[in-house]
Amino acid sequence: MGKAEEVLVVGAGPAGLVASIVLAREGFLVTVMEKEAQVGGNPDWHPSAHATPLKGPETWEYIGIDCSPCFRDVSEKCDVFMNQNKLNLSRVPQGLWVCERGSRESSLDSYLFRIALAAGVRFQFGRAFLAEDLQQAPAKTVLATGLTPGMYSFLDKPSSRYAGYHAFSDHPRDDARASIYFGGLGKEYGYTSALNGIWYVLLFSRGELPAENLDYFRGMMEKFEGKHVAGWRQFFGATPKLGPELICRDRFILSGTLAGFIETNLGFGITGALISGKIAALAVTDPKQAQAEFEGFTAGIKQRIAEKKKGQAGIAFQMGKIWFKI
């Protein structure tokens, strides 16, 4: 038997972990390079509870990994508010699920990490992939660095700012839920999610918000969620300006949010990361087929970006209409 082919994956988020698991199961010798000291991404952002539009069983089947222990379907426990009025929706279109992110044992990241270790994936923690590594990196290196801005400039890839304020609180362990808030704050909107004893709120804002806007949203959290937000933490990230593009770029394979696989209304990126991890693994052996699958999944995102440019985007909470098919 010949020596197993080696593949480097950069980034131990859901996209990089799914790609590494699929490749290791196919017999590749996989190393994941991760800039943080452990799995779980940026410790300023997590541990947190995230909501995401998802078709659970179909997604597990497509990626070949059963992620059900990490996710809860909250489609019927999700309220949508417009200008402080609760909309009368019987359920969220297309389904909304919650999962935990970060380095705790109960997170999606740790769950996929355990599966990756069992599949034989090797990890190099505390090592950031830098601009100078682009020249030496082996062909077919999978880049899955998510919203972290660095890689966009290394690749000369135009990006948009993904930013806002978030806050965290305790929550009853057995309760899982999510809510979405539109209106009353100009272009800003936000959502809350709760799982595994964590309550999380995110308010999007590309620029700095005046204190009165943050106080207004804090008041809404007290009124509708019964939560006191003691302080807001500002965060910044980056997403591809041009949306989903070619996943094979020079000698590299792009995956997850870096590949533009992120929903354009509320920046939901977990489902896209899982699916594109599988597609990135396919791109190692069959780039043409991988690109075709990528296009199929992301057609709705492209359409939405085009509509937004023409000012025809419609109301933002109709996310079911623009999400991809699975």
Binding site residues, ligand FAD, CB under 6 A = 10-16, 33-36, 41-42, 45, 50-52, 128-129, 144-148, 150-151, 166, 193, 202, 235, 237, 256-257, 262, 267-270, 273
Q: Which is nearer to ligand FAD, 253 or 310 (CB)?
A: 253
User: Which residue's Cβ has the minimum distance to ligand FAD?
Assistant: 269
Least Å distance between CB 283 and ligand FAD? 15
φ/ψ of residue 322, rounded to 5 = -110, -5
What gap in Å lies between CA 224 and CA 212, rounded to an integer? 18
Q: Which is nearer to ligand FAD, 2 or 320 (CB)?
A: 320
138: amino acid identity, one letter: P
Q: What is the DSSP letter of 146?
A: T
C-beta closer to ligand FAD: residue 137 or 299: 137
Residues 6+ apart with CB under 8 A from 99: 49, 50, 52, 67, 70, 71, 72, 107, 108, 195, 270
CB of 307 vs ligand FAD, minimal distance in Å: 21
In whole angstroms, the minimum distance from the beta carbon of 148 to ligand FAD comes to 4
Of 296, 322, 274, the closest CA to residue 21 belongs to 274
In the complex, what is the shortest distance from the CB of residue 326 to ligand FAD, in angstroms, rounded to a whole number?
Answer: 15
What's the closest the beta carbon of residue 124 comes to ligand FAD, in angstroms?
9
Min dist. Cβ of residue 269 to ligand FAD (A):
2
Question: With respect to ligand FAD, which residue has the nearer C-beta, 269 or 300?
Answer: 269
CB 89, min distance to ligand FAD, A: 19
Phi, psi of 324 (to 5 degrees): -75, 165
- 36 versus 175: smaller Cβ distance to ligand FAD: 36
20 versus 310: smaller Cβ distance to ligand FAD: 20
- According to DSSP, residue 173 is labeled T
Extract long-range pairs of 301-308: CB within 8 Å, 24+ residues apart.
301/243, 301/244, 301/260, 301/261, 301/262, 301/263, 301/264, 302/243, 302/244, 304/264, 304/265, 305/243, 305/264, 308/264
Indicate the residue among 1 and 273 with the shorter CB distance to ligand FAD.
273
Instruction: Write the DSSP assignment of 221-239 as a string of letters.
Output: IIIII-------EEEEEEE
